[in-house]
Chains A and B, each alone.
Chain A
Amino acid sequence: EDQVTQSPEALRLQEGESSSLNCSYTVSGLRGLFWYRQDPGKGPEFLFTLYSAGEEKEKERLKATLTKKESFLHITAPKPEDSATYLCAVQADGNNRLAFGKGNQVVVIP
């Protein structure tokens, strides 16, 4: 069974204080790892897809990296508008389903 564990569950940051979110995964064969952002009362919004170890993707203050066992979402100099829950999901070989972690809730304080 595919497993995805995200840590920390919740994180409070001062504006400008950089940090990283962790997503550890166990799958039979990774086809893709996805990061989403979710704001309260809304559906998840796609951020990045990573396919193989060593791959990196960037978007504004966010940078996602991937190893064979985990992914990190680095938030550089966060702003209050980066406050959200960040979700990690994996898709394994042989299926078209996503298995999600429980999320990292991030609050950025002005």
Chain B
Amino acid sequence: DAGITQSPRHKVTETGTPVTLRCHQTENHRYMYWYRQDPGHGLRLIHYSYGVKDTDKGEVSDGYSVSRSKTEDFLLTLESATSSQTSVYFCAISERAGDRPTEAFFGQGTRLTVV
């Protein structure tokens, strides 16, 4: 299994509080991603990183920020949690082999509940 660890695995938080989710990899892959998965929507990209301090927005980035200060760590922050951010969050990593994309490997997910 790819070395990806997400923490925490489960979290319940109150509306309006900030929350930070952590993704740690031991594969030294260049690309890291944060997705959320909701019933009826599938996996949607929140933010991604293509190197240390290099990040970009995905399709559902409002209300989220990210940081990557080291190759191995990618943090996702909910600046002020809302009930609509209740979801399962997945981190993924990938590398590139020449011009061809390579598969992304996923973590086990973080189940976040905002009450």
Instruction: List A residues at the B interface (Cβ < 8 Å).
Output: 31-32, 34, 36, 41-46, 49, 51, 87, 89, 91, 96-103
Contact = CB atoms under 8 A, between A and B. Distances in A.
Given A42-B109, A87-B42, A97 B33 contact: yes
Contacts of B104: 34, 46, 98
Nearest to A2: B59
Contacts, number: 55
Interface of B: 31, 33, 35, 40-45, 48, 50, 58, 90, 92, 94, 96, 100-109
A34 B103 contact: yes
Closest A-B pairs by Cβ, 9 of them? A43-B106, A102-B42, A100-B43, A32-B101, A46-B103, A91-B101, A44-B106, A100-B42, A31-B101
B101 A96 contact: yes
22 contacts: A31-B100, A32-B101, A43-B90, A43-B106, A43-B107, A44-B43, A49-B101, A49-B102, A51-B100, A87-B42, A96-B31, A96-B94, A96-B101, A97-B33, A97-B48, A98-B33, A100-B35, A100-B43, A101-B42, A102-B40, A102-B42, A103-B42
